[in-house]
Structure 1
Amino acid sequence: MKYPTIVLFALAAYVLPALAGNDYLWGEIGANDYKLAKDTVKKAFFVGLVQSKKYVFKQSENLNALTITAIRVTDKQKSHGATVVLASGGPGSKGVTLKFTSERGYGIKDIVEIWGR
């Protein structure tokens, strides 16, 4: 009776991470931080191709610009989510550039939240 339970848990440990999305967090969201931006990054799938998209966040006033403390990317796809690379900027700077890359034959659907103070 114990062995089917162990097999079930081992199978769940193998399958569940494959079904989870690719969520990312750079930095830490503090109690005094403000949400600077919340955007959805989308690009439709195309059969047999890898999709890529660049997301750029810039603040309009450089003198009053807040410093980024955290960037959270939440993958809205249950499986085959896009990977994200922090290309430039990020926590400690005033702007950021993110590069999204999908799996072959799949699209991109992520939510980007940028926090700062």
Structure 2
Amino acid sequence: MKSRLIFVLAITAYIIPSFAFNNYLWGEISGNDYILAKDKVSKAFFVGLVQTKKYVFKQKDNLNALTITAIKITDKKEKNGATAELLSGGPGSKGATILFQSKRGYGINDVVEIWGR
């Protein structure tokens, strides 16, 4: 019985991450927030290479710029999606820089939504 439980847990630990999406939410979206930007971030795969792409959100008018309250990233790949790292800015600031990195041999296909007020 104990070995069967360990076997089921090992299989589950192997299978679940392969179907996991790399979705992210930094901050909180409330009813008063506006969508400041919605962009698709993509980069084609190349055999044997890790793909990276930097996404920069910058508002044109710094004096009237809105404050970011949330950043939502939706992974459009069913498996082997890219990871995202918030390098600078984000919730509480006026801009943001996000670095996307794929797994080796895979591409990037994400949607970034920037919310603010």
Q: Same fold (TM over 0.5)?
A: yes
Aligned sequence identity (%): 67
Q: Which residue of 2 aligns with 1:57?
A: 57
CA distance in 2, matches of 1:14, 1:105: 20
Whole-angstrom CA distance in 1 between matches of 2:35 and 2:12 = 36
**SS of the counterpart of 2:98?**
strand
Structure 1 residues 14-35: Cα deviation after superposition (integer angstroms, max 9, x where no partner)? 5233212100000000110000
Q: Structure 1 segments of 4 or more deviating over 4 A?
A: 9-14
User: Any unmatched runs of 5+ in structure 1?
Assistant: none
AA partner of residue 73 (structure 1): I
Instruction: Quote the Cα distance in structure 1 between the aligned partners of 2:17 and 2:48.
Output: 24
Partner deviation per Cα, 1:61-115 (whole Å, 9 max, x = no partner): 0111000000000000000000000000000000000000000000000000000
Q: Does 1:41 align with 2:17?
A: no
List runs of 5+ in structure 2 lacking aligned partners.
none
Distance 1:34 1:88 in 2: 21
Please state whether the residue corresponding to 1:73 is helix, strand or coil.
strand
Q: How does 1:62-77 map to 2 (within 5 A)?
A: 62-77=62-77
Alignment match, 1:82: 82
> What is the count of residue pairs matched by the alignment?
114
- Alpha-carbon distance between aligned partners in 1 of 2:23 and 2:53, rounded to the nearest angstrom: 17
Query: Which deviations, in whole Å up to 9, do the C-alpha atoms of 1:9-63 show, x marking residues without a partner?
Result: 8555652332121000000001100000000000000000000000000000011
Q: TM-score w.r.t. structure 1 length?
A: 0.89
Q: Secondary structure at the match of 2:18?
A: helix
TM norm structure 2: 0.89
Root-mean-square deviation over aligned CA pairs: 1.8
| Match in the other structure for 1:26 | 26
